[in-house]
Structure 1
Amino acid sequence: MSNIPVVLVLPYPAQGHVNPLMILSQKLVKNGCKVVFVNTEFDHKRVVSSFGEQQHSRKHEEESVMKLVSVPDGLGADDDRNDFGKLCDALQNSMPKELEKLIHNMHLKGENKISFIVADLFMAWALDVGKKFGMKGAIVGPASATTFALMCSIPSLIHDGTLDSDGVRLTTKETIQISSSMAEMNIGDLFWLNIGDIINEWWLCNTTDELEPGALSFVPKILPIGPLLRSYDTKSGTTKAIGQYWEEDLSCISWLDEQHHGTVLYVAFGSITLFDQNQFNELALGLVLTKRPFLWVIREDNKMEYPTEFKGHKGKIVSWAPQQKVLSHPAIACFVSHCGWNSTMEGLSNGVPFLCWPYFAEQIQNGRYICDELKVGLGFDKDKNGIVSCKEVKLKVEQLLNDENMKSRSLELKEKVMNNIVKGGASLEKLHRFVKWIKE
């Protein structure tokens, strides 16, 4: 057993980062590796408490190949962990020492001699920790290859005077084009994180050759291994929900079973998006105006009141959904999404057209890409007060669902994307190459 490689996997502490790295970890386990999955203490508690009853029976057998461990994130109990800048600073200041301590203690106990580190792009400093122990490493970009390429370009954008060293725009141009093989990007929409110079052998990304040929040819080092989709547990018919912060409400699947094919609007904005009361009302009323059944994910931390006219709606509301299962359900007609990259990949992998409602950061770029480049979605227009009105919601739903070409393009793209992870598929071959390298 001693020659089984042990891989330490470190995600950035946010649901949209933990998910793809957990899926990748499960693939590594399936291919004969052991994994030590490191969450922050705060996230570790959420992940462990979200295990449904069905998980406990499997927990022990999984722990032998995948160990969930935690380290402090450097913030106090009452600090706001949605404050990106504050969290990043705390992680960089305190976590390298904590990670070093964790590895040192594991090696002392002799239980798991870690041979390799797989770090989230936002946690790239972990590779320097690994080097102290003689470990090699890989970086995983949980966002798009376009975002990855953009971050790689920051040093040259600073050098040519487009940005200052804090990522503040110095140019008067509205758009930039970082490569002739890529579309122009709106500077105001861009999400900057200066990751410095990452020198290591493997850069993995949850994408495919067909989805982002421009970005992948611009940074040939990025290896597409997507789509990273959760595997199903055929015995219990549920997904393996390890890594979820919230328990999934599986009642929405039986509700979907009762709906007609291709009629339901799936509305979900990920783990961070917040609306004010005014915008929440307009969205709720817009869903009523469509006169269609809808499945709306509203997190438990939502403090909004429902408008009175919302009573008697045709929808189902859940606090968290098994998203991949929902998107693959024949009742789903379209996906009203914040365009986070995981949601984007899941929607594309299921051939579901999008109504794009990005919230912040690279989601804005993803939304434009879905609509303008892939042509499998429509965006919403805001009124003069910056609100998406209920009439706009109704209008775009009708426009999208009456467009047969949009649906057929979505299905064609699904086929191309999914061909990557069948036997002999391009992404699967790259993943096998990576595993072979770890084992050598």
Structure 2
Amino acid sequence: MAAAAAAAADHDAAPRAHALILPYPAQGHVIPLMELAYCLIDRGFAVTFVNTEHNHRRVVAAAAGAGGVQAPGSRARRLRLVAVADGMGDGDDRDNLVRLNAVMEEAIPPQLEPILDGAGGEGQLGKVTCVVVDVGMSWALDAVKRRGLPGAALWAASAAVLAVLLGAQKLIRDGVIDDDGAPLKLENNSFRLSEFTPPMDATFLAWNFMGNRDAERMVFHYLTSSARAAAAKADILLCNSFVELEPAIFTLKSPATILPIGPLRTGQRFAHQVEVVGHFWQTNDDTCLSFLDEQPYGSVVYVAFGSLTIMSPGQLKELALGLEASGHPFLWVVRPGLAGNLPTSFLDATMGQGKGIVVEWAPQEQVLAHPAVGCFVTHCGWNSTVESIRNGVPMLCWPYFTDQFTNQIYICDIWRIGLKMVQTCGEGIVTKEIMVERLKELLLDEGIKERVQRLKEFAETNMSEEGESTRNLNAVVELMTRPMS
């Protein structure tokens, strides 16, 4: 990437282009789009990154805690963070995705218009010349099209899930799902997007784990309409994946071509620089990394369940007891406000003796890259899945909703680089005994370790200077810098 490095090193050069980037307001979407922002900045772009006000405050606070907002150099000067109102009230539940989706589509577009027309961007950054939106925010492409600007849409989950959304009408005609996305009676609940793609379980489609059928129906229509709009209005559809992860999906040409540009990296490409990377929480990184530095190679169990997953107090207790009984050192990320639900006896017995630590946030890319980490207990969010692959770490899968079950099938049944956490009968609690058994099985499986290392090598090849994902990203740059019509 000699050309990109030269552009980044030129502090005084005028920006090659000015991209506006709009993520869906969830951490798992903000992070890959922020990373794409840095990929563009490395290639000489200026970027205006638009978050909702709620998430803007969280990202700025987290970055400030790590020293990122004031980081020197041309890369920092070419990133502008902007906030827009999402239409929700101060006391509204932003985890209610159904309501959030409905109000954003009305509230945000009028606020984007002046930004697209150059408000606050004159001078160093210049007017917006191109746009990248999250597929979940594809309604924003209407304003982009009216201005004749090049526009791309990035899907933050797997290409397979996007292909399902784009092919939903065909699935309805074929009797796989009904008009509202509910799975119909199928043999083993299984279907294929084409004769060449792996089987998918209709029970675990991305919209079918929202808590109630009304919510699932509304999310189905929102996701499918957003995907269709992105395919129709964006000049190019992008995905944070790479060819070897989903080869059959990337050969599908209908109803739209999906271009892989992954794995997008999230904060470790420039170890000497602190960057804004889209996290919503931040603490002292040294706590996690110092602990890992003291542990034997491949011994640590890293546990993290993303920004939305909620566990019952009973399940938290069983997980805590299972980690303690496993005998392995552990690093457990428990979101702010939830650590108080852990048993005091567990914290005293483990943390007091240096067997493990519980933190509210961890620098996940650095944790997964650490040689002491032996496995990752994960909710199977796509970002976490790709980051684990990129660092060659086997996974113990504990999905909760949306696309996480599809990702688990990839991890355990297709790539075979992890194991499923098996639930017991009754209340569905995963007991400490199951936890111990599955951890032991995973950490002793040499085949899993070999396969995940192979995928790691593919990931590194794709992001090399001549790698396919890098070539695709360069093609995106060319598209975004074409003369305006």
Q: CA deviation at 1:129?
A: 1.6
Aligned partner letter, 1:243 = G
Match of residue 271 from structure 1? 307
Residue 10 (structure 1) aligned with residue 30 (structure 2): no
Asked if the contact 2:283–2:361 (Cα under 8 Å) also holds between the matched residues in 1, the reply is yes
Q: CA deviation at 1:3?
A: 6.6
The structure-2 alpha-carbon separation of the partners of 1:3 and 1:412, relative to structure 1 and needing over 3 Å to count, comes to closer
Q: 1:47 aligns with which of 59, 68, 81?
A: 59
Residue 22 (structure 1) aligned with residue 58 (structure 2): no
Q: C-alpha distance in 1, partners of 2:83/2:76?
A: 14
Q: CA deviation at 1:172?
A: 4.8
Q: CA deviation at 1:135?
A: 1.4
The structure-2 alpha-carbon separation of the partners of 1:235 and 1:293, relative to structure 1 and needing over 3 Å to count, comes to closer
Moved more, 330-339 or 224-233: 224-233
The correspondence of residues 21-420 of structure 1 with structure 2, limited to 5 A, is 21-51=33-63, 52=65, 54-58=67-71, 62-104=75-117, 106=119, 112-173=126-187, 174-192=189-207, 193-194=223-224, 195=226, 196-197=228-229, 198-199=231-232, 200-219=234-253, 221-232=257-268, 236=272, 240-250=275-285, 251-302=287-338, 304-307=340-343, 309-310=345-346, 311-313=348-350, 314-384=355-425, 385-420=427-462
Task: Please state whether the residue corresponding to 1:91 is helix, strand or coil.
Answer: helix
CA RMSD of aligned residues (A): 2.0
Q: CA deviation at 1:324?
A: 0.5
Aligned partner letter, 1:338 = H
Asked if the contact 2:34–2:278 (Cα under 8 Å) also holds between the matched residues in 1, the reply is yes
Q: Deviations over 1:140-170 (max 9, x none)?
A: 0110111111111112223444333332334
Asked if the contact 1:290–1:397 (Cα under 8 Å) also holds between the matched residues in 2, the reply is yes
Asked if the contact 2:151–2:480 (Cα under 8 Å) also holds between the matched residues in 1, the reply is no
The structure-2 alpha-carbon separation of the partners of 1:424 and 1:108, relative to structure 1 and needing over 3 Å to count, comes to closer
Task: Please state whether the residue corresponding to 1:35 is helix, strand or coil.
Answer: strand
Q: Deviations over 1:72-96 (max 9, x none)?
A: 1011111111111111111112222
Q: C-alpha distance in 2, partners of 1:211/1:261?
A: 27
Q: C-alpha distance in 1, partners of 2:94/2:387?
A: 26
Task: Please state whether the residue corresponding to 2:419 is helix, strand or coil.
Answer: strand
Q: C-alpha distance in 2, partners of 1:108/1:184?
A: 48
Asked if the contact 1:277–1:304 (Cα under 8 Å) also holds between the matched residues in 2, the reply is no
Task: Please state whether the residue corresponding to 2:238 is helix, strand or coil.
Answer: strand
Task: Please state whether the residue corresponding to 1:179 is helix, strand or coil.
Answer: coil
Q: C-alpha distance in 1, partners of 2:312/2:15?
A: 54
Aligned partner letter, 1:256 = L
Moved more, 217-226 or 135-144: 217-226
Task: Please state whether the residue corresponding to 1:87 is helix, strand or coil.
Answer: helix
Q: Deviations over 1:106-127 (max 9, x none)?
A: 2896763111110101111111
Q: C-alpha distance in 1, partners of 2:62/2:200?
A: 38
Q: C-alpha distance in 2, partners of 1:304/1:153?
A: 44
The structure-2 alpha-carbon separation of the partners of 1:33 and 1:68, relative to structure 1 and needing over 3 Å to count, comes to same
Q: C-alpha distance in 1, partners of 2:121/2:310?
A: 45
Structure 2 unmatched ranges of 5 or more: 1-12, 208-222
Q: TM-score, normalised by structure 1?
A: 0.94
Q: CA deviation at 1:297?
A: 0.4
Asked if the contact 2:49–2:81 (Cα under 8 Å) also holds between the matched residues in 1, the reply is yes
Match of residue 436 from structure 1? 478
Q: C-alpha distance in 1, partners of 2:174/2:61?
A: 48
Q: C-alpha distance in 2, partners of 1:115/1:241?
A: 22
The structure-2 alpha-carbon separation of the partners of 1:318 and 1:107, relative to structure 1 and needing over 3 Å to count, comes to closer
The structure-2 alpha-carbon separation of the partners of 1:397 and 1:134, relative to structure 1 and needing over 3 Å to count, comes to same
Q: CA deviation at 1:242?
A: 3.1
Aligned partner letter, 1:79 = D
Asked if the contact 1:230–1:239 (Cα under 8 Å) also holds between the matched residues in 2, the reply is no
| Bigger relative CO (Cα 8 Å, ≥ 6 apart) | 2
Task: Please state whether the residue corresponding to 2:405 is helix, strand or coil.
Answer: helix
Q: C-alpha distance in 2, partners of 1:233/1:408?
A: 24
Structure 1 unmatched ranges of 5 or more: none
Moved more, 178-187 or 343-352: 178-187
Asked if the contact 2:176–2:202 (Cα under 8 Å) also holds between the matched residues in 1, the reply is no
Q: Structure 1 vs Structure 2: percent identity of aligned residues?
A: 40
Q: C-alpha distance in 1, partners of 2:243/2:481?
A: 26
Q: Deviations over 1:243-266 (max 9, x none)?
A: 211114311101100101010000
* Number of residue pairs matched by the alignment: 439
Asked if the contact 1:4–1:32 (Cα under 8 Å) also holds between the matched residues in 2, the reply is yes
Moved more, 109-118 or 424-433: 109-118
Aligned partner letter, 2:157 = A
Q: C-alpha distance in 1, partners of 2:51/2:163?
A: 26
Asked if the contact 1:224–1:427 (Cα under 8 Å) also holds between the matched residues in 2, the reply is yes
Task: Please state whether the residue corresponding to 1:365 is helix, strand or coil.
Answer: helix
Asked if the contact 1:249–1:318 (Cα under 8 Å) also holds between the matched residues in 2, the reply is no
Q: TM-score, normalised by structure 2?
A: 0.86
Aligned partner letter, 2:172 = I
Task: Please state whether the residue corresponding to 1:50 is helix, strand or coil.
Answer: helix
Asked if the contact 1:127–1:136 (Cα under 8 Å) also holds between the matched residues in 2, the reply is no
